[in-house]
Amino acid sequence: MQLTDKCFNKVKIDYLKFLTKEKIYKKSKLIHIQNLRKIYIPIAFWIDNKWKKKGKTLLVGLSASQGSGKTTVAAILSIILKVFFKRNVCVISIDDFYKTLDDRIKMAKYKHPLFKTRGVPGTHDINLIKSFFNSIKKKNLKKLYYLGLTKLWMIDLKKIIGIKSKKNQK
């Protein structure tokens, strides 16, 4: 049995549970199974090979337009990397780094009303992003905030400690 077949058999149930939980059945079950075999598993093998060559934390980014499925792809690949490859995976999203609602309301009053909404340029907390990546680089994880899940992975972080939720992110 090929390694990809072993992977498929090991992750198939978790993959289908995820699709059911997230209500992602716009296509037939057969198409989702084919996507697992032909798209997600090969990408996971590619990521794992990159990690093996690097030998330490690997950052993998996904970039695409809003609503294109980055969160879904990240979640599916995370399932495969955790279940089959036994990798520690931390998934982070640019959505996790928005300025607080209070900050955006202030910006909306003084600069432009669109700043109240998330997603427009200028609504991300650049200092928080810098702090996050500097902490990752220095392995000083005690100061990090855990802000959510999605699109950027740190594969094989040894541990994440001292993490608190950041409030007022709506």
| pTM for the full predicted model | 0.73
Residues 38 and 114 occupy one common structural domain: no
pLDDT of residue 68: 83
The boundaries of the domain holding residue 50 are 1-87
Q: What 3-state class would DSSP assign to 85?
A: coil
Residues 8 and 79 occupy one common structural domain: yes
- If you average pLDDT over residues 35-48, what whole number do you get? 95
Last residue of some domain: 69, 87, 105? 87
Question: Which parts of the chain fold into alpha helices (H)?
Answer: 3-21, 29-35, 41-54, 70-83, 101-110, 126-138
pLDDT tens profile 107-154: 999 999 988 887 788 888 888 888 777 777 776 444 444 433 334 445
**Mean pLDDT over each residue of the chain, to the nearest integer:** 79
Last residue of some domain: 38, 60, 87? 87
- Number of separate domains in the chain: 2
Q: Decide if 145 contacts 163 (C-beta within 8 A).
A: yes
Which of 13-17, 134-138, 162-166 tops mean pLDDT? 13-17
